[in-house]
Structure 1
């Protein structure tokens, strides 16, 4: 009884405190509104700016309209710094808080011409940063990277480390969304390093959250849990309730991936329990919808119904904007739980279409599996098999293998760099100690300087060796990734041919025996599609026809599929390469020609494969749109990195020449014995 009374007193005290704070808050707003009415010019702007800060990001207090009034009045008085500062916050509000990146981008473009007149690099950097976020929200990643780079230039000029860390974190987030796990890891680790040095706890928590998500996406669940637990401990220490709730929410996503449904539901409940910050209304729809989905998926339909009733009672909050996808997923899972298969299929199709727009491959895979299972329950085997094939195509993608192995390498590299930083810190301590004692003992000083010189030489030598070893490791990792890719392609190709292909052949024969022409035709089409996928994954013609004839057949097939004019000259290069080298050269030509067909917009394509005394020379040239700054494109293009790595594995050299509107030339020279 005493415990209950104490608890009641605490709650009562907290309630009184909150009411008192609310009363003070409303009083401040009233006072500022009165001052705004009674003032003009600079003083008027001062009170407007104060009111905007007071109601910042609060939709209920009409932050949007107050911020726009402040911006308009600041521009009227030529107070550009105040105008752009508030414009940046308004872009951030729409793009990152309300999820309306389209409106955020519109505001950014409207003020883009004004930014050059701003003298503060920190203010300009923040403006470019939120503009880049808006482009990323619209899935225009090229423009997002452009403005992240501009923001970084401004942050460097302003020596603003916190802003640099934020830019690195946001860039890493976009790369993570694109599936570029290696580059994403490097940027997020750089953000963690900066925030740790700056003692920026909140952003450090956000960065650890992002790296835990990246680890999870690549199946490093233990590493993800370690980073997340550190972030939760920090969040609890500094009472960051929003961060804690999001970390529990992400933990639930991990447990869903490893099929630990009990912990998934437990962490979703914890996320709801800790959702007590000013952003509660924004995050609650995500937490409630996901918890409803989890309960419905685990046959707790009665418990799910309790949360579902709350979701249905407020459709404007739960079914609009960025919550729409999750709302549709709730509807499909609830329909399935109630055995309403027709409604479940309709909602499943809507959900899959939404996920395809945003290219969330794991979610697309799950949506395909859901539809396959539903169609199977309704005995619609044709649609069930169609979605099941799509599910396996995504599941067996080798891109995840590439990212996981690369991420392991960069994680090791990061740990090595942390160790080197610790060594440097110890060296600094030794140097400081020698400096303090130089008056007492000159001989000790000279000896210490001598030791430091020797140590520096040794460190330099070790650093160069380490750099050389890192480069060798990177090359080996890249080659291992390509080898793993080909092995996985071969495995999937054989599985499709031996398993799915044989089953479809059997279905076709049964349909023909039963004279079901429509089913026979559909099965035949599906069989041809499976065979086409199988041939694309592994070119069996290499063993049957040889390298020269296989390349000729590849180019003939591509020539038939396009209006582009092909000019082909191929010498006989059979028996010049072993099996692995043959496959790499074939893939190099296939990927280079495919890139030209996709991107060059050319009218003619020249492919020459000429054998000299000790060299095979491959020239692929088009007269398409071309591009400038070849070095930059090679650095950021995954396709060009892949073909370059294939030529390196063949111990050859690769040259790429291109100019805007002048076409592109790719020349590979490969030595032969």
Structure 2
């Protein structure tokens, strides 16, 4: 999607239309206010069905408008409709109000309570479409309240009613929302499969509206896992389809989400362009502009972040005039964070601090991890500029911790996603194998009936041979998949360890070093000691995460340094004989060999209760031979039941497989443990 660039003349026209929109909006609001007051007066005088008809008109007029006390009017309409036994109409009002609580007013708990009232009343509603909407909106209330399991149950019921109504669009929407709940529970692969299934159904049905919702959700799923290229590809196609369908609500939602992804990857030009386009499409929407507040807030943030303070001020003044006086303020958490960013950009840190703190409290209450760590970063900046270094350090530490947690969570999501796909592939392979075997059995039965006297025995033998060959193939395939997955997992762990080690050294370590130098000449000796001690601990953790000695000293010296460090910090007596093996292995093999020794020694320190350890590492002909023995308590080890091994022992075994080595472990209770390893150099 191309970026839109305005020349001076176009900008003037755009600003004029922008100001006309304010005038038009004010005129519309005055007209609505007059109609509301007139209807209220007429309702006070009317009775029976005439009163209900007027209440219905008032309900439709103020639908989703909190400034006219929509929830109070909707409840009066529900009560009066039930008094007149207009059950379906009362159900429709309930459905609209539950939707309002869940999706518009940010009070999903109220929606949950109202839906519970609906279930307790046991209304005899006969409209299947209405029931599907009620259960879907009820599911939204539970979803936005964090009750994901219950929301899935209600979405399932919504699907059932939609099927009874033969409404494929409604069915697909309920299934889409269910997929979103499943994704938020951590089942990314299942959610992705559900969404792909919905997309196929809607494509066949040519249901463009539902298709846009489903694909938008799929793009959001990719974004949550950090697959930004996949998300962009999906969004670009959805945006193009929305333009063709003139679905401006979908355009706003997708452009807004695209701006969030652009911000995450640092593409600020695209971020602003997406938001401006989303804002412009809001003027074309015939169904209102529910995202207008949050898009306005994010435009303010985008301009503030990119030093466009004149444009930022225009949006700031409009936001304060349009939304700042509302009760409640729409999307208040985003509103507060946008104001804080604007005040930071204008160097008004006194105003920025309370807004940033309010935003943080709201994000913490909603358990929004990414927004929380952004808030910590925002507060760290504010306190730093206010020369409050103690609080600045506190929030910087929290920011780094949350950032690493969020990044780790994304990696965990991706690994979970691929693992589930692996399990699904394995299951499908097994089902296909069973189906194939059943087909072969059926074929054999038919042949036996026809050729019982001639070739039954031969055909049975052939079948058994085929079955054994296919079984062996399946077992080999299964083993290969499992080994590939384990090796990929170890590879990702090493990458993450390198990342965390660098972050600790380059970010936290550097800041502690700077702090140490800052207080060096002060009287705070205790603080200086604490900083130095903490800095050394950070360095030890960093060295544990990634063995930098391998790169600086070489494999032989790195192993000796590790043995020396453990010898210095424990009561173990070490007897070591380590040949120079530098340059004999590839860098990858060196890392895995080092990790095997490290994990073995860690197990001895933690679990063996040994007094002495003997280590020999020798180059013998075309191999490197490793021998590690301790005189500890040992353990019961069975080579045929490796699934009972500890995680550490399994990791040693997997690393040994990766570098093509012969690993042997012998351990007996009370007699210690011996681990030998032989690495063939010809494979290197």
2:248 aligned to which of 232, 241, 244: 241
Instruction: Return the offset for 1:192.
Output: 2.2
**Structure 1 residues 122, 529: closer, same or farther in 2, change over 3 A?**
farther
Residue number in structure 1 paired with 2:321: 313
Instruction: Return the offset for 1:407.
Output: 5.4
Residue number in structure 1 paired with 2:358: 350
Q: Check conservation: 1:74, 1:82, Cα contact below 8 A.
A: yes
Alignment of 1:251-400 (within 5 A): 251-276=258-283, 277=285, 280=288, 282-316=290-324, 320-396=328-404, 397-400=407-410
Cα distance in 1, alignment partners of residues 540 and 144 from structure 2: 35
Instruction: Return the offset for 1:107.
Output: 0.9
**Structure 1 residues 38, 160: closer, same or farther in 2, change over 3 A?**
same
Instruction: Return the offset for 1:295.
Output: 0.9
Instruction: Return the offset for 1:92.
Output: 0.8
Cα distance in 1, alignment partners of residues 185 and 282 from structure 2: 29
Residue 139 (structure 1) aligned with residue 146 (structure 2): yes
2:236 aligned to which of 210, 222, 229: 229
Q: Secondary structure at the match of 2:282?
A: coil
Instruction: Return the offset for 1:226.
Output: 3.0
Q: Check conservation: 1:94, 1:103, Cα contact below 8 A.
A: yes
Cα distance in 2, alignment partners of residues 648 and 38 from structure 1: 82
Residue number in structure 1 paired with 2:599: 543
Q: Check conservation: 1:105, 1:131, Cα contact below 8 A.
A: yes
Residue number in structure 1 paired with 2:493: 486
Instruction: Return the offset for 1:485.
Output: 4.7
Cα distance in 2, alignment partners of residues 649 and 121 from structure 1: 56
Cα distance in 2, alignment partners of residues 119 and 480 from structure 1: 57
Residue number in structure 1 paired with 2:512: 504
Instruction: Return the offset for 1:191.
Output: 2.9
Cα shift readout 1:482-512 (whole Å, capped 9, x = no counterpart): 3245224432453366554576368558746
**Structure 1 residues 55, 296: closer, same or farther in 2, change over 3 A?**
closer
Instruction: Return the offset for 1:305.
Output: 0.9
Cα distance in 2, alignment partners of residues 312 and 472 from structure 1: 62
**Structure 1 residues 123, 524: closer, same or farther in 2, change over 3 A?**
farther
Residue number in structure 1 paired with 2:413: 403
Residue number in structure 2 paired with 1:615: 641
Cα distance in 1, alignment partners of residues 40 and 300 from structure 2: 44
Cα shift readout 1:291-329 (whole Å, capped 9, x = no counterpart): 111111111112211111122224545684552112212
Q: Check conservation: 1:121, 1:157, Cα contact below 8 A.
A: yes
Alignment of 1:521-532 (within 5 A): 523=531, 527=535, 530=538
**Structure 1 residues 363, 180: closer, same or farther in 2, change over 3 A?**
farther
1:516 aligned to which of 524, 533, 536: 524
Cα distance in 1, alignment partners of residues 186 and 495 from structure 2: 19
Cα distance in 1, alignment partners of residues 378 and 292 from structure 2: 25
**Structure 1 residues 313, 474: closer, same or farther in 2, change over 3 A?**
farther
Cα distance in 1, alignment partners of residues 41 and 51 from structure 2: 10
Instruction: Return the offset for 1:81.
Output: 4.0
Deviates more, 1:330-339 or 1:113-122: 113-122
Q: Check conservation: 2:62, 2:68, Cα contact below 8 A.
A: yes
Q: Secondary structure at the match of 1:282?
A: coil
Instruction: Return the offset for 1:252.
Output: 1.9
**Structure 1 residues 275, 485: closer, same or farther in 2, change over 3 A?**
same
Cα shift readout 1:451-498 (whole Å, capped 9, x = no counterpart): xxxxxxxxxxxxx99999998898577535632452244324533665
5+ residue gaps, structure 2, are 1-12, 425-470, 548-561, 567-597, 616-633, 656-674, 677-684
Q: Secondary structure at the match of 1:274?
A: helix
Q: Check conservation: 2:293, 2:330, Cα contact below 8 A.
A: no
Q: Check conservation: 2:188, 2:221, Cα contact below 8 A.
A: yes
1:104 aligned to which of 111, 114, 120: 111
Instruction: Return the offset for 1:334.
Output: 1.9
**Structure 1 residues 290, 232: closer, same or farther in 2, change over 3 A?**
same
Number of aligned residue pairs: give it. Answer: 513
**Structure 1 residues 526, 139: closer, same or farther in 2, change over 3 A?**
farther
**Structure 1 residues 350, 34: closer, same or farther in 2, change over 3 A?**
closer
Cα distance in 2, alignment partners of residues 467 and 133 from structure 1: 43
Q: Secondary structure at the match of 2:291?
A: helix
Cα distance in 1, alignment partners of residues 246 and 45 from structure 2: 35
**Structure 1 residues 510, 35: closer, same or farther in 2, change over 3 A?**
closer
Q: Check conservation: 1:492, 1:537, Cα contact below 8 A.
A: no
Q: Check conservation: 1:331, 1:347, Cα contact below 8 A.
A: yes
Cα distance in 2, alignment partners of residues 472 and 56 from structure 1: 59
Instruction: Return the offset for 1:412.
Output: 12
Q: Check conservation: 1:168, 1:190, Cα contact below 8 A.
A: no
**Structure 1 residues 160, 474: closer, same or farther in 2, change over 3 A?**
farther
**Structure 1 residues 493, 199: closer, same or farther in 2, change over 3 A?**
closer
Q: Check conservation: 2:39, 2:58, Cα contact below 8 A.
A: no
**Structure 1 residues 406, 324: closer, same or farther in 2, change over 3 A?**
same
Residue 129 (structure 1) aligned with residue 136 (structure 2): yes
Instruction: Return the offset for 1:376.
Output: 4.1
Asked which structure has the greater CA Rg, the reply is 2
Cα distance in 1, alignment partners of residues 113 and 269 from structure 2: 44
Deviates more, 1:112-121 or 1:320-329: 112-121
**Structure 1 residues 37, 172: closer, same or farther in 2, change over 3 A?**
same
Q: Check conservation: 2:39, 2:54, Cα contact below 8 A.
A: no
1:211 aligned to which of 218, 221, 230: 218
**Structure 1 residues 34, 192: closer, same or farther in 2, change over 3 A?**
same
**Structure 1 residues 119, 279: closer, same or farther in 2, change over 3 A?**
closer
Cα distance in 2, alignment partners of residues 125 and 367 from structure 1: 39
Instruction: Return the offset for 1:183.
Output: 3.6
Cα distance in 2, alignment partners of residues 208 and 164 from structure 1: 15
Cα distance in 2, alignment partners of residues 392 and 186 from structure 1: 34
Q: Secondary structure at the match of 1:615?
A: helix
Cα distance in 2, alignment partners of residues 552 and 135 from structure 1: 51
5+ residue gaps, structure 1, are 415-463, 554-569, 576-607, 621-641, 651-671
Instruction: Return the offset for 1:275.
Output: 0.7
Instruction: Return the offset for 1:532.
Output: 9.9
